[in-house]
Amino acid sequence: MSLYIHGGSAEDIKNVYNRLMEDAQVTDPFAENPFGLFGALQDKFGVRWQFIS
């Protein structure tokens, strides 16, 4: 299970991603992909987050 965050500006999504990166395991660095900006991580509580903009 993961939380999937989609939409908003790229800057807003990246800011949330960067704040959650603290004490997290980054599985996919936030970067440009063919389908848009994407990043994923598992936070310090074990919750997996996925971000796309």
Distance of alpha carbon 24 from alpha carbon 8, whole angstroms: 23
pLDDT at 7: 79
Reported pTM: 0.82
CATH of 2-52, one of 3.30.2320.50, 3.30.720.110, 3.30.200.20, 3.40.50.300: 3.30.720.110
Distance separating alpha carbons of residues 23 and 20, to the nearest angstrom: 8
Which among 23, 8, 18, 4 has a CA at the least distance from the CA of 53? 8
Per-residue model confidence as pLDDT tens digits over 1-53: 888 888 788 899 999 999 999 899 999 999 999 988 999 999 999 999 999 98
